[in-house]
Structure formats: structure tokens, C-alpha cells
Amino acid sequence: MRYEEIEHTADVGIRAYGSSLDELFANAAEGMFSLIADLDSVKEVGEIEVRLEADDIPTLLLRWLSELLYLHETQRLLFTSFDVQVDGTSLRGRARGEAIDKKRHELKLAMKAVTRHRLSVDPARGTAEVIFDI
């Protein structure tokens, strides 16, 4: 299992799994987009690159997901696959997907933000938890 939805009173969240930080960050991104749309309908037509730095690993995850959500909102993109390289508190990532096509893509949730509430990254256990404001 790469990720699962977790219960939250007013918002929605995911728990991502991975044997490395790279895998954990990629699976968290896929988990986030699985809440936004049915990823089976998204084709890998284009690719974007993201480079980020942060003060710590949880903030790096927050910034990574926030940047992808920003690209989703501003450029109307859906992403379905991700490659991530985490080096200390720096990240180089690639996200593949396509522009939203209302004929093929049924949007499920409108996310407002990635939150710090209950944000956790545990590389030793291979888990991360993220709550999204909807």
C-alpha cells in the first residue's frame, strides 16, 4: 500500500508509506491527487520539475505538496506519477500528468491548502501524515 485516506473531523488527510524519503514524498503526492480526481483517467502527457528547500523534512513535504496544489489550481493540471529526490532538506521532483479535461476528469475534492495540523514524517517507520483543508 502506497497511501490511504485517514479520517479527520472537518478536513481530509492521507497517510503515505515508503521505504525511503523519496518514495514517501512521491506516494504522498499521489495520495493527495487521488483525493482530487480519479488518477486512472489522467494521462502522463506533460511533466513539470519542482526544486525546493526547507528548514526541516516535515516542512519540505508541506512545501512539495503545496507547490503541486498551487500548480493544480493555477495551471489547471492533474498529476498522476512522481519522481522525487530528497537530499537533506532539499528536493528535486518531477510530476507527470495533463491539463484538466472536464469530459474525462471528474474532480472529487477542491482542496484549499496543505496544513501543518498533525503533519508528520517518520522515515524510520516509513510513514507520513498530512491533513488538507477542504
SS (H, E, C) 52-85: EECCCHHHHHHHHHHHHHHHHHHHCEEEEEEEEE
Q: Which domain holds residue 72?
A: 3-133
Residue 104 is part of a domain; what is its CATH number? 3.55.10.10
pLDDT band at 7 (very low <50, low <70, confident <90, very high): confident
How many domains does the structure of the chain reveal? 1
**E strands, the chain, in order:** 3-6, 12-17, 46-53, 77-87, 90-99, 113-114, 120-122, 127-133
The reported pTM is 0.96
pLDDT digits 0-9 by tens, 64-115: 999 999 999 999 999 999 999 999 999 999 999 999 999 999 999 999 999 9
Q: Is the pLDDT of residue 9 over 90?
A: no
Share of the chain above pLDDT 70, in %: 100
Instruction: Give the gyration radius of the chain's Cα atoms.
Output: 14
**Residues 63, 86: Cα–Cα separation, whole Å:** 13
pLDDT digits 0-9 by tens, 30-66: 999 999 999 999 999 999 999 999 999 999 999 999 9
